[in-house]
Structure 1
């Protein structure tokens, strides 16, 4: 006995003895239920290299948990799998640059259909699909609370992020 079975032709189930531990009526992800003492084995992929071809569909992610170790250029790309209600995908960006994350074609990360999002360096990003086309995102990253910069002449532009060429200016005459 493999422990695998079917309640009917379209209802796969994992059973242990006489107890159904996992069942998906009508083979749908949103109707699955679990019994006691059951856990899911989520797929994990590590050592992923983001695609240098910076367009949707490049470097498709196939696991629930994905560690991207190489982001050779700012905005190199990975692509999420198609959204399905309840599906979760986690991306860990251990690369050297900001990672561009595209949804699958026709999907939405909450900023527009087929529009990419980003995972900062050292960020862990969780995507959760709440329907068949839309993801919501939660990103965690260490945050710099404050920084001090001094310019007694009050004339210099401070380069905050040389990769993206972001500048901050202070105003003259602040007290």
Structure 2
């Protein structure tokens, strides 16, 4: 089994970290193979940011995204740039707070998550990426809640762990709500 995932937004949203956390959850806690690649625009903050994660049961699998299964976007520019790459029947998860022109495709499954506004309610907008990871986990089951939680704890500094776990749990809740 193979799942191709693209996370995209702009620099400063924690897209790269989210990709690393997702890959770590699969590789270290699910005993699967994960390949993670990333690219950022020339600007450190505000430029395009993209992380791709391939999760596979085959260690010899091609390490780059071939055909997207899941697209998670946190900016209008990312949605505009990458929606065309999402095939029919696949999954789009987007931060509705950051998207002014929502997608109108009927051939894909669309889930909108108010990640940025919920991150502000938790006290720090920087955890919107972790909220989105929680929603992605709940909606897709690409990794377990337990695995993603362990990976978040691995990757964040101790003083931010409680905040990030609250954000992850909020993401699980929002993902469940988005599924209806």
The structure where helix makes up a greater share of residues is 2
TM-score when normalising by structure 2: 0.24
The structure where strand makes up a greater share of residues is 1
* Larger of the two Rg values belongs to structure: 1
Question: Relative contact order (C-alpha < 8 Å, sep 6+): which is higher?
Answer: 2
TM-score when normalising by structure 1: 0.24
